[in-house]
Every structure is written in C-alpha cells, then in structure tokens.
A and B are shown apart, each in its own frame.
Chain A
Amino acid sequence: NAGVTQTPKFRILKIGQSMTLQCAQDMNHNYMYWYRQDPGMGLKLIYYSVGAGITDKGEVPNGYNVSRSTTEDFPLRLELAAPSQTSVYFCASTPNARFSGNTIYFGEGSWLTVV
C-alpha cells in the first residue's frame, strides 16, 4: 500500500538552482495538492489539481510550477531557488473533494534547504 510517495526526502540546493519534487499516488485520486510547512507554522497551499491536465494556484505559488499530465503524478518545479523556499514540502491527495467527508492522504514530506 504505497499511498502518496514523494521524492527526494532531503535535498540541499544552491541559490539559483532548479529542481523538481516528485509526487505519485496509486489510489486513483483526482484531487492533488502541494503544501509547504515552515518551522512552527501551519500548511500553506502552493498549487492544486482537480484532475489530469488541470492545475490552479494556491496562496503561495510564486517561484513554483506544476504539471499534471497523468492522474498519478503531480511534480512540483522550483525555478531559481531562493533561501525563502527552505521548507518542508508535502504532497497530498483525495478521491473527490466535492464529497466533503473524504480523507486527505499525505506523503511523508520533502525537506528542502536552499543555501
């Protein structure tokens, strides 16, 4: 039972570098999300997707991009990394957000440090 899988778990980037955080789910969920969690803070939504080919911005999208070419995969691209992007990133999915009772499933997180 893989659930939501994120890679890499840890990464150190230099300022100005780019990278992609991978996220895959094997539960055939339509709705997927990317959050960041800064130390001692709650979750902030970066981007979300309601299905393959459809993505939309959350509250903190600047400096990030996403794509959703398949139901399973939802990669997050960081362009020109900045120290402000040092954070823990969580990918999450749910079957159908139109049904409010559906549980949201989270990956284990990706710890990113920009130096």
Chain B
Amino acid sequence: GDSVTQMEGPVTLSEEAFLTINCTYTATGYPSLFWYVQYPGEGLQLLLKATKADDKGSNKGFEATYRKETTSFHLEKGSVQVSDSAVYFCALSDGSGGSYIPTFGRGTSLIVHP
C-alpha cells in the first residue's frame, strides 16, 4: 500500500537558517503530494501541493518539488522565522488507485529560536 516517510523531529533552528524537511513516498498509482502545517493548538492546513512529477509547490516562502525518480517531496525554506515553528506533515493522495484515504507521514516538529 501507499506510505509516506518523513524525517524525525524535532528540527531546531535559529532564525534565518535554511530549512529542509525530507519526505519520501511509495505509491501504486500517480499520487498528488502535499505538505500540511499544524500550528500549536490548531488543525492542519494546506501549506503547498504538487499534482504531477516535476511540479513545484510554493507558499509563504516554502517550496517542494515532486521528484518521481527519487520518490521525494522535500520541504525547503531559505530563511525561517520564529512564526514558522509548527508541525509539518507530508501527505499523498492517490485517487487513481481506488483509495479514498489520504496517507500522512508522522509529522516533523520545527522549533525556531530567535
């Protein structure tokens, strides 16, 4: 079945540092890939997505590129801020396989210090 693996956290950075959170996936069909963010005390919300190979999703300075050859969708940001402290979830949705259930990674906690 489908699966998503993302790096263990917490990731602790100083403000203005470069961020990478790794995400790899396995899927039987042609999935769309997502990054969701969960701020403290809130639900998950979409950060960015890509629906086909080589697409780049971007939002709020975050980027991720859908790499089919390496089955990866790594999240990057050039300069993090304290307000980026949150839990980040990589996810995939593979409707073509007949599954109606999106697959989420375990989440990576990001802590940014001033």
Closest-CB distance, B52 to chain A (whole angstroms): 9
Interface check B22, CB cutoff 8 A: no
Whether A100 touches B89, Cβ cut-off 8 Å, given contacts A41-B106, A107-B43, A109-B42, is no
The complex places the Cα of A43 from the Cα of B36 at a distance, in Å, of: 12
Residue of A nearest to B107 (CB): A42
Give chain A's interface secondary structure class: loop
Closest 5 CB pairs of A and B: A106-B43, A42-B106, A97-B100, A101-B51, A100-B32
Taking CB atoms, residues of chain B closer than 8 Å to A41 are 106-107
Interchain residue pairs with CB less than 8 A apart (26)? A41-B107, A43-B44, A43-B104, A45-B101, A50-B100, A94-B102, A96-B95, A97-B95, A98-B100, A100-B29, A100-B30, A100-B32, A100-B94, A100-B95, A100-B96, A101-B49, A101-B93, A102-B93, A103-B46, A103-B49, A104-B36, A104-B93, A106-B36, A107-B43, A108-B43, A109-B43
Taking CB atoms, residues of chain A closer than 8 Å to B36 are 104, 106
Report the count of interface residues on A (CB-CB < 8 A). Answer: 26
The answer to whether B95 touches A104 (Cβ under 8 A) is no
The complex places the Cα of A111 from the Cα of B5 at a distance, in Å, of: 26
Report the count of interface residues on B (CB-CB < 8 A). Answer: 29
Report which A residues bind B (CB closer than 8 A).
Answer: 4, 31, 33, 41-43, 45, 48, 50, 58, 90, 92, 94, 96-104, 106-109
